[in-house]
Amino acid sequence: MELTRKAFMQTLAGAAVTAALPKASMPAAARKTKMKLSVTAYSYGSDIREGSMTFDSVVADVADMGCDGIELLGETNVQDYPNPSSEWVAHWFSLLDQYNLKPSAYDTFVDTMFYHNRNLTSSEAAEFLERDFKLAHRLGFRNLRQQWPPYKADDPADEINAPYVMSKLATETIMKALPLAEKYDVRMGIELHSPTQLKSKFIDSILETIQKTGTKHLGFTPDFSSFVRRPPRNRIAELLNQGARQKIIDYIVSAYQNKLGPEKTVAEVKKMGGNDMEVQYAGIAGIYHFSNNDPKDLSRLVPYCFHVHAKFYEITDDLKEYSIPYDELLRVLEEGGYDQYLSSEYEGSREEHTISAALRAHQAMMRSTLGIV
């Protein structure tokens, strides 16, 4: 009987898995680029939840595809978050040593709506961040992929770009967290996920804070979901299967590409007689969950980028990302002298047993684009 990978993984508990897998043995890469490669463990979420992979086998897999580093999401990957045992922490360092990986970035969130009847104050939000700073430092991370605190926009008209909006409370939180970041020597790379608009007062205000304070502990983590030229195909296929109409989907995609914006697109789709599913896809919970920035607009931020989320949805057989202009993005980073990590973050099909293959294809694409052989 053929032994499936799932059955194989289940025959070997925790440590035995890592012992059984060989050490990464990629040949020393000839590199011109200074950029480094990483995978975020978040990518493996469904394989971990469904039991086919463990934390240890994820670390082994990331090393096996030749990465330099690995990114963790504290609340997902750290056992007994936010207070892992010293045994767990020692195990983490022994895995890094065994597989010759570096900690690339640690992911933080701010649950501004922590209580049902009120928002966190900015001081409380900074206290939560301090827990993560301490833990990141303890686990050997220097870079944070930090979520911008998701408070309401000061200007209601800006809410369409939430949570990437100017907000007095968010700015206060960051200012209160800044001395703590310095204390634990971790660098807050504010995540620029879609629907971030790179040409915006939101970005200008963070840049102004960096320049005014001269801090080395505040910067950016661009996420390539902000550079989606055309939306992923797997979601569209699902919608068409569930009764969305090709003509209306085509209209929504072209409206997105022409930067019509969610309000006008929704209004047009309603006029066309769009059903609930089509109307939803036309708005912020649908296609405008992505944003379509020009890679050139990233240039001015490159000197302040501590980490990059190399988001991807689908790698085609000719080794291209279907939705995102990787060649342009990597050129902008290279020209700007970026020398930190590109960390693969997969958000395509969540089907079990497909994730490692997708990550490997993505790493192969980035290596080929960067000329890493």
Partner 1 sequence: MAQYNILDYGFKNFTKDGKASGFQVLVKDSYYRGIYAPLIESFEATVDGESFARDQIQCKFRDNVYSQDDLQNHPNERWQFNEPCTLIITKPGGLKPGFHNIEIVVRERISYMPVIPSVRTFKAKLAMVM
* Binding site residues, partner 1, CB under 8 A: 42, 45, 48-51, 73, 75-77, 80-81, 109-116, 147, 150, 162-163, 284-285, 289
Residue (43 or 369) nearer to partner 1, CB:
43
Give the H or E element holding residue 279: helix 276-281
**In terms of Cα–Cα distance, which of 287, 290, 270, 302 is closest to 203?**
302
Residue (150 or 232) nearer to partner 1, CB:
150
* Shortest reach from residue 141's CB to partner 1, in Å: 17
What residue has token string 């911008």?
A: 148
Residue (157 or 373) nearer to partner 1, CB:
157
CB 70 within 8 A of CB 59: yes
* Shortest reach from residue 291's CB to partner 1, in Å: 14
* Shortest reach from residue 309's CB to partner 1, in Å: 14
CA 204 to chain centre: 22
**In terms of Cα–Cα distance, which of 251, 217, 218, 219 is closest to 236?**
251
For 148, which DSSP code? P
Residue (50 or 250) nearer to partner 1, CB:
50
Residue type, 16: A
Residue (42 or 224) nearer to partner 1, CB:
42
CB 40 within 8 A of CB 345: yes
Residue (281 or 326) nearer to partner 1, CB:
281
Residue 85 makes CB contacts below 8 A (sequence gap 6+) with 79
* Shortest reach from residue 119's CB to partner 1, in Å: 9
Residue (8 or 115) nearer to partner 1, CB:
115
* Shortest reach from residue 57's CB to partner 1, in Å: 14
Distance CA 354, CA 361 (A): 11
* Shortest reach from residue 45's CB to partner 1, in Å: 5
* Shortest reach from residue 152's CB to partner 1, in Å: 10
CB 298 within 8 A of CB 326: no
CB 232 within 8 A of CB 313: yes
Q: Would you tell me how many other CB atoms lie within 10 Å of the CB of residue 130?
A: 16
* Shortest reach from residue 163's CB to partner 1, in Å: 5
Q: Which residues pair with 70 in a beta bridge?
A: 39, 103
Residue (48 or 255) nearer to partner 1, CB:
48
**In terms of Cα–Cα distance, which of 35, 30, 36, 32 is closest to 67?**
36
CA terminus-to-terminus distance, the chain: 38
**In terms of Cα–Cα distance, which of 169, 198, 321 is closest to 259?**
198
* Shortest reach from residue 150's CB to partner 1, in Å: 4
